[in-house]
Chains A and B, each alone.
Chain A
Amino acid sequence: KQEVTQIPAALSVPEGENLVLNCSFTDSAIYNLQWFRQDPGKGLTSLLLIQSSQREQTSGRLNASLDKSSGRSTLYIAASQPGDSATYLCAVNIGDMRFGAGTRLTVKP
């Protein structure tokens, strides 16, 4: 059974710091992996999608990597800002989506 784990559950950093969020999954047979952002009381917004054949994707200050063989993905956020404060979820596509519990990020001014 596919299990998706995100560590840490919560992270607090000062503004301007570079940071890495981690996602691990137990079965490497995935079609793709997505990183989402969830703001309090809101739905999920897709940030990056990495196909199973890709190693990384970049969008602005965000860079996501995928190592399928080891069952790991990381989301790198450069020069963090208070507006980046949110919960970040990763999800693997195995035909349907399996989500991690998320990392709650707080960026302090």
Chain B
Amino acid sequence: NAGVTQTPKFRILKIGQSMTLQCAQDMNHNYMYWYRQDPGMGLKLIYYSVGAGITDKGEVPNGYNVSRSTTEDFPLRLELAAPSQTSVYFCASSYGQGVPKNIQYFGAGTRLSVL
């Protein structure tokens, strides 16, 4: 029962480097989400996807890109890492948006530091 799997768990980047945070779910969920959580703050939505080939911006999309080529995978790309992107990143998925389908299941997170 894997659920939502995120890799890597930890990463340190230098300013200007690029990386991709991986997210995979095995629940056949249509909806997938990327959030970031800064210390002492709530989660903020970066991007979300309602199905393969469809993505949309959330509250804080600047500096990030996403793609959704399959139902299972939803990678998040940082092109030019900046210290402001130091955060914990969570991926989540849900079956749909109508209640109760929109209960979101979360991965364990990726802790990213940009130095």
| Residues of A near any B CB (own CB < 8 A) | 4, 9, 31-32, 34, 41-46, 49, 51, 89, 91, 93, 95-102
Residue of A43, A45, A95, A98 contacting most chain B CB atoms (<10 Å): A43
Main secondary structure of the interface of B (DSSP, over half): loop
Q: List 29 A-B contacts (CB under 8 A).
A: A9-B40, A32-B99, A32-B102, A41-B108, A41-B109, A43-B4, A43-B106, A43-B109, A44-B43, A44-B90, A44-B92, A44-B106, A46-B104, A46-B105, A49-B100, A49-B103, A51-B99, A91-B43, A93-B102, A96-B45, A96-B58, A97-B33, A97-B43, A97-B104, A99-B35, A99-B44, A100-B42, A101-B41, A101-B42
Q: B107 within 8 Å of A by Cβ? A: yes
Nearest residue (CB) in A for B45 is A96
Nearest residue (CB) in B for A95 is B97
B42 touches A49 (CB 8 A): no
- Given A42-B109, A49-B100, A89–B59 Cβ distance below 8 Å? no
Q: B48 within 8 Å of A by Cβ? A: yes
Interface size class of B (residues with CB under 8 A): 20 to 34
Residues from chain B with a CB closer than 8 A to the CB of A96 are: 33, 45, 48, 58-59
Residues from chain A with a CB closer than 8 A to the CB of B92 are: 43-44
Residue of A44, A91, A99, A101 contacting most chain B CB atoms (<10 Å): A44
Q: Which of B72-99 contact A (CB under 8 A)?
A: 90, 92, 97, 99
